[in-house]
Amino acid sequence: MEKEINSDIIIVGGGIAGILTAFSLLKYDPSIKLTLIDNQFHAAAWRIAAGIINPVAGKRIVKTANIDLLMSALLDCNAALHYQTGKHYFFSMPIVRVFRDQSEQLSWDKKIQKEDYHAWLSPYSQTLLPIHTPYGAGIIHGGGRLDIIGLIHDIKAWLSTQCTILHNTFHQEISFSSEQTIIMCYGWEMMYNPYWSWLPFAPFKGEVLTVKMPSDFSSTFILNNGTYFLPLTNGTARIGATIEHDALTYTPTQQAREELLSDFTAMTNIIPDVLAHHVGIRPGIEDRYPVIGSHPMHKNIMIVNGLGGRGALYGAFCAQSITDNILHNNPILPEYSVERYYYRFAL
């Protein structure tokens, strides 16, 4: 039996996209009657995400598109949350990029000479860390770690005093009118949603390890040689992440474990104790950019999805974008707007 929800806005999804969108909307307009549908999916990708913010990435050492806008939204969100909770959720940390081959070293050497990269890149000193760098290394600035678990936990606690939160309810079970806005952002399984199945979803499985590190290993840097190393607390760290597009299961594999440990040991000559092996499936889109905006026929049905492996970086900006679109009719950046795929709807 369908449930009728008496709200102005209904958000389906309790991950980083849905939670930040709910927070953003109520921050700007506390009078909104909002319902959040959060099914607390135990295997959601955000539960194992490291939350690494890397502004300069890829084999060609390229700044992330719109990085200034993305970081501004992230920092504004962190400040707004700090006002509400007294806590910080973004922690700045330098990233030591270990080059995997000579082509990466050459790409770095070219980029570090460019003026628009000066604030982001600096040379690496071999005295910083006891790591193996046969092709060299460099330091990326401006990034760090977002405490996704803490952020979502604390926003949910705040939202529980500001709106209605439903559990064990699915979008197929609710009825809504054209006067209500429904925002769907519940992860990779949206590829099966009849409203959005025409989008070029490209979800991918990721596996990560939680490990115990030697007490004398530095905890002040993130390492990245294609595989990342993120120091956590109490001598633990996160190593990840693999990418698998075909076998979308929640089963950890020995192959991924060996691949991650091999990459990490190649950097550090350390074989750490594995404490846990985690799996998540990320909601990707074919061109690797998020999709934000309204359905081509049903303008009150909206989407925030496709944050992929960069939910920590994209989340705040996507939430801000959909909020500005709903409340002020501001356009969404073309490269993130779902309108770029409207042509597929007619096929």
Rounded CA gap, 330 and 210, in Å?
42
Estimate to the nearest angstrom the gap between the alpha carbon of 69 and the chain centroid: 15
Q: Categorize the per-residue pLDDT at 80 as very low, low, confident or very high, splitting at 50, 70 and 90.
A: very high
Model pLDDT, residue 323 = 98
Which CATH number among 3.50.50.60, 3.40.50.150, 3.40.50.970, 3.40.50.300 corresponds to the domain 3-49+149-200+287-345? 3.50.50.60
Model pLDDT, residue 225 = 93
- The structural architecture, per CATH, of the domain 95-141+204-282 is 2-Layer Sandwich (3.30)
pTM comes to: 0.95
Average pLDDT, the chain: 94
Q: Does residue 171 have a pLDDT over 70?
A: no
What percentage of the chain carries pLDDT values higher than 90?
A: 84
Rounded CA gap, 341 and 329, in Å?
20
Reading across the β-sheet that carries 291-294, which strands appear in turn? 164-166, 34-37, 9-12, 181-184, 301-305, 291-294
Domain ranges of the chain: 3-49+149-200+287-345, 95-141+204-282
Rounded CA gap, 262 and 269, in Å?
9
CA distances from residue 201 to 181, 196, 198, 209, 345 in whole angstroms, order as listed: 23, 9, 8, 26, 13
The per-residue pLDDT for range 188-197, each reduced to its tens digit, is 999 999 999 9
Model pLDDT, residue 217 = 78
Report the run of H or E that residue 7 belongs to, with start and end: none
The per-residue pLDDT for range 302-331, each reduced to its tens digit, is 999 999 999 999 999 999 999 999 999 999
Whether the CB-CB separation of 206 and 240 falls below 8 Å is answered with yes
Alpha helices in the chain (DSSP H): 16-28, 67-85, 102-111, 148-159, 254-268, 311-328, 342-345
Hey, which bits of 179-265 come out as E strands?
Answer: 181-184, 204-212, 222-224, 228-231, 236-240
Whether the CB-CB separation of 282 and 201 falls below 8 Å is answered with no
Q: Does residue 1 have a pLDDT over 70?
A: no
Rounded CA gap, 223 and 240, in Å?
11
Model pLDDT, residue 4 = 82
Whether the CB-CB separation of 336 and 50 falls below 8 Å is answered with no
Q: What mean pLDDT comes out for the span 82-111?
A: 95
Burial class (CB in 10 A: 0-12, 13-18, 19+), 217: middle
The per-residue pLDDT for range 210-251, each reduced to its tens digit, is 999 887 777 889 999 999 999 988 889 999 999 999 999 999
